[in-house]
Structure 1
Amino acid sequence: MCSWFILTDKCRSANRPNQGIRGPRSALTDFLSSQNIQAHQIRANANARRAAAALAAAANVQNNADGDDDADDDENEEDNEAGGSTSTTASRARAREQKKQKQEAAIAKIKESKLYIKKKQQKLAREKKHKRKRGGDSPDLPESDSDDLARALLDEKPGPVPGQMANCEICDKRFTVTPYSRAGPNGGMLCSPCGKKLAKDQNDAKKNKKPKLAAQGGGGRRKMQSRILDGTYHVGAKPLMNLCIETLAKNIQLADGLGDLPPRVVDLIARKLSKHRLLGPDTLRLFLDPRNDAVSLYDAARLSSQDYVTIFQQVTQLKKLKLRNAIQFKDEVMQYLITRNLNLDSIYLHGANLVSEACWIEYLKAKGEHLKALQIYYMDKHVNDAVVSTLKVSCPSLTRLKLCHNQEVSDDGIKLIANLVKLEHLSLQLIKKTKTDPYVAVVQSLGKQLQTLSLKNIADVDNRLLDAIHENCTSLKKLRVTDSEHMTDAGFARMFKGWKNRALVFLDLQKCRHVDPAKPRENEHMVGLCSEGFRAIMTHSGTNLRYLNIHACRHISAAAFEEVFAEDKVYPQLSKLEISFCEEVTDFIVGSIFRCCPALKELNVKHVKVPKGRILVGVPNAIGMQIEGVDD
């Protein structure tokens, strides 16, 4: 029984896998493991270096011995010839042949090494540079030069291998060579302190090396097009104020305050920081001056509800509040504003869709009597007809109202706007489909005092609105009617002909055109703004018009453009013109536009030649735009 157990244990031990015995690990072992370096690899590399050094030393000894043999052969050549010993001559020939074969094998081995390839490439580069200066070809390195280079490397004295002692090339200190020892500038070895110092100097030299300037290509064009689209492009050198603002934006973390800068400059700084997403809780303090009565933040997405409360706490004389992307402006902030002794004259809120309907009504009832301007954007379903109905009683001094992208305002809410008897500026862009009658009611009630009328995306509104504007509006300076699919060219012509309103300064009629995907260019009933309406516009308002947008009014004919911008016509105030996607526009028409509009600064169109000092928007790349001459 005992023998059976012994045999079983032996079988079990024989079937067990080999289990290595692990001991404590040293700090060096841990460091090498973290650097993905293995000890057996270091040992193999060291053995390879020792073998290479031994082979090179043996080759040198053999060369010396062969040289002595050659000398002895020369001295004894006469004796050999005299003796006529055939066997001795044959043995010497075999020795020379063996020597030649060994040398060729060593040269072939050296030619396969990385050091030889590197040296050969360096020599080829020098040869090519020399040939290029002389104007000749740059052939490959000849075979004889390759052999000479290999023999030179073979004759070089090998450096010390790891484990040997050597003197430092710089400080002449005796040290032990390791696989990590650096080579000196003259081929010697360096000790650890000198090697570290040399590596640091080389890294500093690389950092201080002047970077290559990028070619003036896509990056410059992209920046220029970005400034054009932002409306900040300036022909020629940038103004000093813009350069200072850009420098401040790049080093905004170093700024302690804005000092006594004028409000216009502070506003430009806020726009610049918002564009680069630099406006946050840490930079908000720059714009909270207790002496100011206005705060304008164009990207408040990074601000929290407490940051908005901080604004009301520090700017105690606040009258005008402008916040874009105010996504954390909630009921609690509005409640705090209600409880404070702050009576705002102007509120501009964009994206504050977390303020509830009840909170809006409560604020308007509590603070609405001081409110003169209310501009609210993207409030989802919280600003509705009930909120609009509160304006009549709660905001008797309201002169400016703008409702943009609010989903719940309908035709009933538009009719309620007609009760705001002091309203002078009205802008509406609603999500729900609306009809013509509510707009006509507003124009009939408020038309005589309206200075701004902006109605966007009114696809179902027809010519009755244009007739109401013609009959009731006599003080308009800015008119915008866009995306209409039912207004006709006759309606536009009828509105502007004999209109008692003074010449407009701003006119936007973009996308008032016939929409039929099946027959886009056929317009039998002349829907939208066409040639007659365009002629009537320029006849009525051309002398005072500064901004004109007829984007996508594609049924205006080339004859109408040529007549409006004829040689005898001049539009001295027109500075911005948008005529993109007007299919009849040609290079001749664009040239006529620049001739008739001496103050024109920006023209939005494609593939035309632009006089020097003017801005052209809509060019996809630099090839599509050419700057002419040196004279305007």
Structure 2
Amino acid sequence: MTLGQIDRADEVAGIVFVDRKQSALTDFLASHNISAQQINLDYQARLARQQADQAAAAAAAANEENNANGSDDDEDVAEQKKRKRKEEKAIAKIKASKEFKRRKFEHHRAKDSDDDEETDDDALARDMMKKPQKAPPKPGQFANCETCEKRFTVTPYTLAGVDGGFLCTKCGKELKDEKSKAEKAAAKSKKKALVPRVRKRQQESDRMEGNVKLGAKSLVEHCVRKVADVVNDIEDFGDLPQNLLDRLSQILSKKRVLTPRTLQLFLQPGIDRIAVYDCAKLETEDFNKIFAFMPDVERVNFRFAGQLKDEPFRYMIEKNPKLRHLQLDASNLITDAAWTDLFLHRGDQLETLKLSALNDSFRDEIVEIMASTCPNLKRLKLRKCSHMTEQSINFIASMTSLEHLSLAIAQESSAESLVNLIDSVGSNLKTLCLEDYCDADDSVLEAIKNNCTQLTKLRLTGSPSFTDNMLANLFDAAWPNPCIRHIDLSSNRDMDSAMGPNDEDDENPVGFGSNAMKAMMVHSGNKLEQLDLHSNRHVGKEVLLDVFDGVKQYPNLKDIDLSFVTHVDDVVMTGIFKSCPALEKLAVFACFSAREAVIPQGIAVIGLPNAQSAVETVGGA
């Protein structure tokens, strides 16, 4: 074999070996889902992104340079001249070079014009002054790391830096980790920022209800709210106790989602009471269904029951023999004939009757029938019944079994009728509420003092005739009535009087004033739980500071309304917080001098625009 044949054989053997080696490598990459084509495509995409980033960075730098060159006002005059001399010297040097002459010749030949030759020369010289942009290194070439300046070999997986350069393996990994951490922190902060906005409506709703207790809500409350959120997916409440059913009814009514479908969940034969606080979406058949499913019901409470008509009402009278407590609101489709049937068939067993917003029925004749057929009625509440007159007050005066009486009807009734009413039924009353009787005067207060000795709740509102001295006289030591737990003496002032809240010359103003305030707190302060004095403008600041001085204590007072009492300020509020350790809710609408008081935690202050931000933090003053 010749030498040439030997060389040819070695070459063929080498080619076969390389082919086998490449084939084995290809099989290995394919088995691991590694594609050379995909690697190349990824590299080209990264290279295009890098070039785009570099172009954007160059444009930004040029823009910054132009802005810097354009802001001659910020430079010193000497620096401007020095910079211009350097620039002119550099341009002149470039114009003298052969490269400039060659480019100028090519430029003019392409432009084919000699206009504005000097301007073109300067522009061409400035273009030549710019440093040419280097092409990015390709895989396999060397580059310096943008961060640590370490020299390394560029690969298709090399990451681009912030300034357009490349990063070594170590710096690229650190940059990747930093980006990941930043993304997680941004997502976490975004989630935290959304929580207050999502819950703000519920928090404000709870605050209006006086519910601002620290910490999480009870497990029962959480469960009830969760059930209310998914009520449309529930088939049966099971054996829930009555108090939780009532709470669910309140939440669903507040959300306006109590429909015929959800009503079905409350209908359980073994329960003796039903309370629906929003019947606006119920139809006549739904009321029939309630009384059919619950034959042993004793307590019925329907609010906004506009679709309750004579048919289901008479069905209730017939099929519910144990009915003893009835409360209806806005049931205007029930006729006087149906009311007559109720009192004739069930009047002797009724113990509670609460009616409100009746505009088309329940006239004086029905009140007369009620008074004669309901001997066991102990609780009577009538509000906004349009067809009642003073004659109805006289009929109610014959119901001597009453223990709780609340009337906001026939507001034009005379003081004599009210006095006669109190003289007749006052001795057994535990609750007395007379609202917006314009003709009620001091004689009514005197009748209360002479006849009522068991009151635990007193509400006298909207009278323009009560005097401060007579209100104070009502609460003096001669009144044998024990401490009252709930007092509402709001809006008792003369609207036509020219005397304002700062006029204290009148020793006996018309309305609830300073004397009444002192006497009331001395009489009932130890047991008082709820106090409403809104719109009583004659209560002086000195009395407020004396009553709520931080030393006197009212251990049971939980709810106070001093809205539109103009003398309430930050000092008075601070005294209230110290004198009422059990306080849960304070309303101070239109008290414009109260803005900076620090609110202790756990107290809902209603009426201040910045109340939430003024809440005392843990460990605060």
Give the TM-score range, shorter chain.
0.5 to 0.7
> In the TM superposition, what are the counterparts of 1:130-279 in structure 2 within 5 Å?
212-213=190-191, 214-215=193-194, 220-279=199-258
Q: Is the counterpart of residue 506 in structure 1 residue 486 in structure 2?
A: yes
Q: Is the counterpart of residue 533 in structure 1 residue 522 in structure 2?
A: no
Distance in 2 separating the partners of 1:147 and 1:478: 90
Distance in 1 separating the partners of 2:130 and 2:306: 78
Q: How many residues align?
A: 444
**Contact 2:423/2:447, CA 8 A, preserved across alignment:** yes
**Contact 1:376/1:402, CA 8 A, preserved across alignment:** yes
> Unaligned regions of 5+ residues in structure 1, if any?
1-88, 102-142, 150-208
**Contact 1:514/1:520, CA 8 A, preserved across alignment:** no
**Contact 2:445/2:471, CA 8 A, preserved across alignment:** yes
Distance in 2 separating the partners of 1:555 and 1:569: 22
Distance in 1 separating the partners of 2:202 and 2:557: 26
Q: Is the counterpart of residue 627 in structure 1 residue 616 in structure 2?
A: yes
Q: CA deviation at 1:341?
A: 4.5
Q: Is the counterpart of residue 594 in structure 1 residue 577 in structure 2?
A: yes
What is the DSSP-based 3-state SS (H/G/I as helix, E as strand, rest coil) of the residue aligned with 2:427? Answer: coil
Distance in 2 separating the partners of 1:628 and 1:211: 22
Distance in 1 separating the partners of 2:331 and 2:346: 18
Q: Which residue of 2 aligns with 1:127?
A: none
Change (3 A) 1:365 1:97: farther
Change (3 A) 1:212 1:373: same
Q: CA deviation at 1:283?
A: 0.2
Among 390, 393, 404, the alignment partner of 2:383 is: 404
**Contact 1:619/1:625, CA 8 A, preserved across alignment:** no
What is the DSSP-based 3-state SS (H/G/I as helix, E as strand, rest coil) of the residue aligned with 1:285? Answer: helix
The letter of the residue matching 1:503 is C
Q: Which residue of 2 aligns with 1:555?
A: 538
Q: Which residue of 1 aligns with 2:62?
A: none
The letter of the residue matching 2:401 is K
**Contact 2:557/2:583, CA 8 A, preserved across alignment:** yes
The letter of the residue matching 2:608 is V
Bigger shift: residues 469-478 or 574-583: 574-583
Q: Which residue of 1 aligns with 2:527?
A: 544
What is the DSSP-based 3-state SS (H/G/I as helix, E as strand, rest coil) of the residue aligned with 1:581? Answer: coil
**Contact 1:444/1:472, CA 8 A, preserved across alignment:** yes
Q: Which residue of 2 aligns with 1:612?
A: 601
Q: CA deviation at 1:350?
A: 0.7
Q: Which residue of 2 aligns with 1:80?
A: none
The letter of the residue matching 1:435 is S
Distance in 2 separating the partners of 1:480 and 1:600: 21
Distance in 2 separating the partners of 1:596 and 1:620: 24
> In the TM superposition, what are the counterparts of 1:51-70 in structure 2 within 5 Å?
none
Among 570, 577, 601, the alignment partner of 2:560 is: 577
> In the TM superposition, what are the counterparts of 1:307-346 in structure 2 within 5 Å?
307-346=286-325
Identity in percent:
32
Q: CA deviation at 1:97?
A: 5.1
The letter of the residue matching 2:375 is P
Q: CA deviation at 1:598?
A: 1.4
Distance in 2 separating the partners of 1:144 and 1:248: 72
**Contact 2:532/2:560, CA 8 A, preserved across alignment:** yes
Q: Which residue of 1 aligns with 2:164?
A: none
Distance in 2 separating the partners of 1:599 and 1:493: 26
Q: CA deviation at 1:222?
A: 4.0
**Contact 1:611/1:629, CA 8 A, preserved across alignment:** no
What is the DSSP-based 3-state SS (H/G/I as helix, E as strand, rest coil) of the residue aligned with 1:371? Answer: coil
The letter of the residue matching 2:395 is L
Q: Is the counterpart of residue 460 in structure 1 residue 447 in structure 2?
A: no
What is the DSSP-based 3-state SS (H/G/I as helix, E as strand, rest coil) of the residue aligned with 2:573? Answer: helix
**Contact 1:482/1:508, CA 8 A, preserved across alignment:** yes
Distance in 2 separating the partners of 1:488 and 1:624: 40
**Contact 1:349/1:376, CA 8 A, preserved across alignment:** yes
Instruction: Summarize deviations over 1:293-343 as a string: whole Å, max 9, x none.
Output: 000000011000000000000011111000001010011111222332433
> Unaligned regions of 5+ residues in structure 2, if any?
1-100, 114-128, 136-186, 589-593
The letter of the residue matching 1:514 is D
Q: CA deviation at 1:516?
A: 3.0
What is the DSSP-based 3-state SS (H/G/I as helix, E as strand, rest coil) of the residue aligned with 1:387? Answer: helix
Distance in 2 separating the partners of 1:331 and 1:288: 21
What is the DSSP-based 3-state SS (H/G/I as helix, E as strand, rest coil) of the residue aligned with 1:245? Answer: helix
**Contact 1:364/1:390, CA 8 A, preserved across alignment:** yes
What is the DSSP-based 3-state SS (H/G/I as helix, E as strand, rest coil) of the residue aligned with 2:413? Answer: coil
The letter of the residue matching 1:502 is P
Q: CA deviation at 1:460?
A: 2.0
Cα RMSD of the aligned pairs, angstroms, is 2.9
Q: Is the counterpart of residue 366 in structure 1 residue 345 in structure 2?
A: yes
Q: Which has the higher contact order (CA 8 A, sep 6+)?
A: 2
**Contact 1:612/1:630, CA 8 A, preserved across alignment:** no
Change (3 A) 1:217 1:413: same
> In the TM superposition, what are the counterparts of 1:366-515 in structure 2 within 5 Å?
366-430=345-409, 432-497=411-476, 498-515=478-495
**Contact 1:407/1:432, CA 8 A, preserved across alignment:** no
What is the DSSP-based 3-state SS (H/G/I as helix, E as strand, rest coil) of the residue aligned with 1:561? Answer: helix
**Contact 2:484/2:527, CA 8 A, preserved across alignment:** yes
Q: CA deviation at 1:381?
A: 3.3
Instruction: Summarize deviations over 1:347-366 as a string: whole Å, max 9, x none.
Output: 01011111111211122111
The letter of the residue matching 2:350 is L
Change (3 A) 1:609 1:95: closer
Distance in 2 separating the partners of 1:462 and 1:409: 21
The letter of the residue matching 2:265 is L
**Contact 1:221/1:622, CA 8 A, preserved across alignment:** no
Distance in 2 separating the partners of 1:227 and 1:332: 39
**Contact 1:610/1:628, CA 8 A, preserved across alignment:** no
Q: CA deviation at 1:495?
A: 0.8
Instruction: Summarize deviations over 1:369-397 as a string: whole Å, max 9, x none.
Output: 11110001111130121111111221111
Q: Is the counterpart of residue 355 in structure 1 residue 334 in structure 2?
A: yes
**Contact 1:609/1:628, CA 8 A, preserved across alignment:** no
Instruction: Summarize deviations over 1:376-425 as a string: whole Å, max 9, x none.
Output: 11111301211111112211110010001101111110111111121100
